[in-house]
Amino acid sequence: MIEKGTVSPDDLRHLLITDSIDESIEHLKKYSIEKFSLKHRKRVKAMSWLGELIKWKR
């Protein structure tokens, strides 16, 4: 991909090949959650007037 110019050599530092779940979680935390200050938030309810899917009770 570097040869084709679709990624830069610097992008490879974000690539992780592992079979360890713990290692992959730490990698995601470091390069995604912490880097971009991502936070967990509550799920927003579906709004029928926007045409969003609502489960009907029978």
Ramachandran area for residue 36 (φ above 0: left; ψ -120 to 50: alpha; else beta): alpha
The pLDDT score that the predictor gives to residue 42 is 82
pLDDT, tens only, 2-56:
889 898 888 888 889 999 999 999 998 888 888 888 887 887 788 877 888 766 6
Separation of CA 19 from chain center: 18
Give this prediction's pTM: 0.50
- Closest by alpha carbon to 31, among 56, 8, 7, 12? 12
The pLDDT score that the predictor gives to residue 18 is 94
The pLDDT score that the predictor gives to residue 49 is 79
Q: How far apart are CA 2 and CA 10, in angstroms?
A: 10
The pLDDT score that the predictor gives to residue 21 is 95
